[in-house]
Structure 1
Amino acid sequence: MKKNIFVFDLDGTLLTSKEEISPRTINAIKTLFENGYFIIIASGRMYKSTKLVIEKYFPFLKDIPIISYNGAYVVSHTGDVVFESDIEKKDAIEIIQEAKNENIHVQIYLNDELISDKDNAEIKQYSKHSGVNYKIINNLDEYILKSKNGPTKVLTIATKEKLDVFQEKMISKYDHKLNIVRSFNIYLDFLNKDTSKGNALKRIAQLYDLDLENAYIFGDSENDISMLVLSKNSYAMNNASEKVKCAAKNIAPSNDEEGVAIVIEKILSDISHY
């Protein structure tokens, strides 16, 4: 019999709007771990930022697969890189120019480093949110061209309303070659076309012979849809948008109501009574 699998997004799912994880939620995840269930963390964050959250709140989860950068960087339980993708340099430079034309903040991720050419409020806020330092350079285009590979991800930051318009425009122009998805209301991510949390999860499932159809998958943002649709046991948080809720089979209470913990407790109770 295959193990039960639990997949968790971080921001807006395990993390509250205050960017904390409650003791009740930590305890619920610890109970899963102690019962031998297979746990995967799937985040849009950088790998080092994802690791920081795990180390802070779930130090017992030392050896689990991690999906970071929305699936562009996937690491096995042993720390080996299972999958890595980047954006073609030409495409990345085009997106950067598009953002600058609209006066939208843009930053890139290369070799797990956060990089921009503007030291502004947006990157300071992002750096604080992710717990990761950033690097300011003179020219992003030149930096990309000189690098061995293209960026893992390009991120634009603006108000929700401004990004709604920008996202629509970018999808109409670049959807055939990039995966363009919101990871937060104010964050719009640009990734390699084949990169998504769902595709990363499929790779992990092949590696470990996992049954995704019955996996318990939790998420709240557009970047979680690709993995929520894979399972009949998927949960969108109540703080998710309607689009995300429609992709999931179930709705959990919100991230500020300890929704993940409530669902886990019920699942474990049902299993023990089975």
Structure 2
Amino acid sequence: MKSVFVFDLDGTLLNSNVEISQRTAKALKKLKDKGHLIILSSGRMYASMQYIIERFLPFLRNYVIVSAYNGGYLVDHSGNVVLEKGVEKETACECIGFLREYRVHRHIYINDVLISEQDDEEIKAYAKHSFVNYTLVDDLVKVVKNSDHPTLKILAICEPKTLDELKGMALKRFKDKFNIMKSFDSYLDFIPKGVSKGEALKIFSKIYNFDLKNCYVFGDSENDIDMLEISNNSFAMGNAKKEVKEIARYVLPTNDEDGVAYAIEKIFITDFNNVNT
């Protein structure tokens, strides 16, 4: 029987060196060879996810299903875009103004391009981590207003303590306009209301006709919670946030200990009783 496997990238498939180990790649290759559906679900840009596939998982080319931007940009196994959902122009501009008020780094994504009005260390480090280049502009608001493409996501970067405070203020102001979540301790994502990794899975379940409850779902962060909650087979990494471990059925070794590969190996011999670490 064919199954569906859903993987987050950062903190899950990717280790602390932003690499996918040979052991983990081998485990995913085994899934593909057996004909199981594989979905990669990330807050990353589509271009960034494609780079990771080409570099570490080339055998998944023209096979893997991709959910980028936390579910706002969905691409099927043939490379067809099945969903591109962005933020309303007025709402995006309001959010940029809000982040300017708090003097934190902010950037946007339009047409799968990373765009910043600040040429600071944050954008340089982010671009390097994401394996993409960035476009520097004078005014993000002007770019949003003049673009023919939707703003897929807005991201703020600052120190974790400041970010928690910023998130609280953002939720008060934008709770009806954005889905606001942390993808890292220092990253705050602003995505369209109604967009999430879990909602993306629901869309793919209709396209590929699979039962959400029977998916094998792997994650580690706040933005993974709603897709983990969908499945009866939910796996939190050993490095996951406490709230993620609490809702997952199984807790694995960390991303630096090949936790995903460990789980897949157990699944293939149906040794579920010994999955938890």
Name the aligned partner's letter for residue 214 of structure 1.
N
1:233 is aligned to 233
Name the aligned partner's letter for residue 31 of structure 2.
L
Shift of 1:99: 1.2
Q: How does 1:252-263 map to 2 (within 5 A)?
A: 252-263=252-263
RMSD: 1.0
CA distance in 1: counterparts of 2:176 and 2:252, whole angstroms: 33
1:214 is aligned to 214
Structure 2 residues not aligned, in runs of 5+ = 272-277
Is 2:28 the counterpart of 1:20? no
Shift of 1:173: 1.5
Q: How does 1:29-40 map to 2 (within 5 A)?
A: 29-40=28-39
1:81 is aligned to 81
Q: How does 1:130-149 map to 2 (within 5 A)?
A: 130-149=130-149
CA distance in 1: counterparts of 2:107 and 2:223, whole angstroms: 18
CA distance in 2: counterparts of 1:128 and 1:6, whole angstroms: 28
1:48 is aligned to 47
2:151 is aligned to 151
Is 2:211 the counterpart of 1:184? no
Shift of 1:149: 3.6
Is 2:70 the counterpart of 1:70? yes
CA distance in 2: counterparts of 1:149 and 1:262, whole angstroms: 41
Q: Which runs of 4+ in 1 moved over 6 A?
A: none
Name the aligned partner's letter for residue 174 of structure 1.
F
Structure 1 residues not aligned, in runs of 5+ = none
Name the aligned partner's letter for residue 37 of structure 2.
F
Is 2:7 the counterpart of 1:4? no
CA distance in 1: counterparts of 2:64 and 2:243, whole angstroms: 29
Identity of aligned residues (%): 47
Shift of 1:247: 2.4
CA distance in 1: counterparts of 2:247 and 2:195, whole angstroms: 18
SS at 2:151's partner residue? Answer: coil
Question: With structure 1 as the length reference, what TM-score do the two structures score?
Answer: 0.96
Question: With structure 2 as the length reference, what TM-score do the two structures score?
Answer: 0.95
Name the aligned partner's letter for residue 89 of structure 1.
K
Check conservation: 2:73, 2:85, Cα contact below 8 A. Answer: yes
Shift of 1:133: 0.4
SS at 1:106's partner residue? Answer: strand
Name the aligned partner's letter for residue 152 of structure 1.
L
1:107 is aligned to 107
Check conservation: 1:92, 1:150, Cα contact below 8 A. Answer: no
Deviations 1:162-202 (A, max 9, x none): 10110111112211121001111111100100110110111
CA distance in 2: counterparts of 1:219 and 1:106, whole angstroms: 25
1:169 is aligned to 169
Q: How does 1:111-130 map to 2 (within 5 A)?
A: 111-130=111-130
Check conservation: 2:4, 2:37, Cα contact below 8 A. Answer: yes
Deviations 1:37-69 (A, max 9, x none): 111110110001001101111111012210000
Name the aligned partner's letter for residue 238 of structure 1.
G
Check conservation: 1:89, 1:149, Cα contact below 8 A. Answer: no
2:275 is aligned to none
CA distance in 1: counterparts of 2:65 and 2:3, whole angstroms: 15
Check conservation: 2:111, 2:150, Cα contact below 8 A. Answer: no
CA distance in 2: counterparts of 1:243 and 1:104, whole angstroms: 26
CA distance in 1: counterparts of 2:211 and 2:13, whole angstroms: 23
CA distance in 1: counterparts of 2:219 and 2:261, whole angstroms: 13
Name the aligned partner's letter for residue 102 of structure 2.
E
SS at 1:17's partner residue? Answer: coil
CA distance in 1: counterparts of 2:149 and 2:246, whole angstroms: 37
Check conservation: 1:213, 1:233, Cα contact below 8 A. Answer: yes
CA distance in 2: counterparts of 1:221 and 1:24, whole angstroms: 22
Shift of 1:150: 3.3
SS at 1:270's partner residue? Answer: coil
CA distance in 2: counterparts of 1:227 and 1:96, whole angstroms: 28
CA distance in 2: counterparts of 1:22 and 1:100, whole angstroms: 39
Shift of 1:135: 0.3
Check conservation: 2:217, 2:234, Cα contact below 8 A. Answer: yes
